[in-house]
Amino acid sequence: MSSAPRRPAKGADSFCTPEPESLGPGTPGFPEQEEDELHRTLGVERFEEILQEAGSRGGEEPGRSYGEED
């Protein structure tokens, strides 16, 4: 092993800001991974809206629960 002091490689802090070529070929504006993340996020938001709508409609029968017989 060398006893020379270790210096950070050129661009060692580049992990904070990805360079355009790191996105890969064929990704003009939106990388596929980000697109998948967006779809998941939008799906979760829509699911929350549906739950809120269902909760607001269910005010007529508060406390009703279903058992195994139902």
3-state secondary structure of 32: helix
Give the pLDDT means over successive 10-residue stretches in the chain (70 positions). Answer: 57 51 54 88 89 71 68
3-state secondary structure of 59: helix
**What are the residue boundaries of the structural domains of the chain, listed by start?**
32-56
pTM for the structure as a whole: 0.32
Amino acid 14: pLDDT: 47
Amino acid 68: pLDDT: 79
22 φ, ψ to 5°?
A: -75, -15
Round the CA-based radius of gyration of the chain to a whole number and report it. 26
70 secondary structure, DSSP code: -
